[in-house]
Amino acid sequence: MYDCFGSIHIHTRYSDGSGSIPEIAKSAEKAGLDFIIITDHNHLRGKPEEGYYGKVLVMVGSEINLECNHYLGIDIAEEIPPNDEVPQQVIDGVRNQGGIGFLAHPCEIGSPVYKNGKTYPWTDWEVTGFTGMDIWSYLSQWRDGISSIPKGFYLYFNPHQAFRRGPHQASLEKWDQLLRDRMVVGIGCSDAHAIKINLGPWKPVLSDYYTCFRCINTHLTLNKQLSGDLKSDKAVIKQALQSGRCFVGYNFFKSAKGFRFVAESRGHIINMGERTPAKGTVLKVDTPSKAKVVLVKDGRPYLQNTGQKHRFRQLKPGIYRVEAYHRHGLGYRAWIYSNPIYLD
């Protein structure tokens, strides 16, 4: 198995980001990423620039909608009109083109420092047909942590403090709720803009590309390495995302590359996003380094183990996913969030 990881949800100067696609790809290569997915607002102007830049595959999709119900459309060829009030039409538009889509930063909290707490949440939970949701978003969660101007300065110089405990609990709870009805793929997003601010001699950059690319990433579990061919590799990445053969890792302090979560049943391997009978099945978790692993069943912590190899047996039917925490300082820090395996 091969671990291919990258950054999803990125803005360029074609919308409200500050970098060109070649510049952003250069930052991604420096960060060691395999792929990035550009999602400028409500258009596909960057589509002609898809391709490999050095070792990094650049794909171009779109973040659709304006004030709420932002939707990441991936592998689409034509622009889809925004529709905040009826996001089902946006979802259907992506599906009609054969694309996949994810609810972006669906459970924002807001910051009093940013437009009096303005958020861009997902509000229509009756929609169907979406591939998955963003469970951990860099820019959104970083901004949500700014409760005051002094806290804003603190998080500018210490951004990782905003993510120490993991994704917003509301996002995980909503995800677990949705998983009861069907497979909803969880991904991590950067929402990188590299916003440049002019404060006289000090010119800070918020959510700069390189920092974002080293933090919250989506890892794909592939049967073979990417080939270097744009068309075939785009299809491989799309299929892995669509099926849920992926996990989210916060890579800044420890690389999540090499994490594995599978079920072994009657000599067969069942991957994330798949299901198998519970009887006789063993859930296997391997972490790249020693970690505290929490096995979550039906949205609640169920079993726990510490080490690098974790085996869970005699399991009841349920929806199982993994949360892993690595040692950092005097405690543990949120690290990896897997997609689920269903045991029937």
How far is it, in rounded angstroms, from Cα 47 to Cα 43?
Answer: 9
Q: What is the pLDDT of residues 249-268, one digit of tens each?
A: 999 999 999 999 999 988 89
The last residue of a domain, from among 195, 225, 250: 250
Residue 300 sits in a domain of what CATH number?
A: 2.60.40
pLDDT of residue 200: 83
216 & 297 share domain? no
245 & 264 share domain? no
205 & 283 share domain? no
Asked if the model's pLDDT at residue 203 lies above 90, the reply is: no
114 & 210 share domain? yes
Residue 255 falls inside a structural domain: no
How far is it, in rounded angstroms, from Cα 290 to Cα 217?
Answer: 20
283 & 187 share domain? no
Contact 58, 34 (CB under 8 A): no
Residue 205 backbone phi and psi in degrees, to 5: -120, 120
Distance of CA 129 to the CA centre of its chain: 19
Residue 3 backbone phi and psi in degrees, to 5: -100, 115
The last residue of a domain, from among 250, 270, 286: 250
Longest CA–CA span in the chain (Å) reads 66
The last residue of a domain, from among 194, 219, 250: 250
Residue 114 falls inside a structural domain: yes
How many domains does the structure of the chain reveal? 2
Residue 132 falls inside a structural domain: yes
Contact 8, 105 (CB under 8 A): no
Q: What is the pLDDT of residues 162-180, one digit of tens each?
A: 999 999 999 999 999 999 9
Element (H, E) at 270: strand 268-270
For residue 275, give its domain range. Answer: 260-343
Q: Span 48-67, mean pLDDT?
A: 98
94 & 169 share domain? yes
Q: What is the pLDDT of residues 132-161, one digit of tens each?
A: 999 999 999 999 999 999 999 999 999 999
Q: Span 25-41, mean pLDDT?
A: 98
Residue 246 sits in a domain of what CATH number?
A: 3.20.20.140
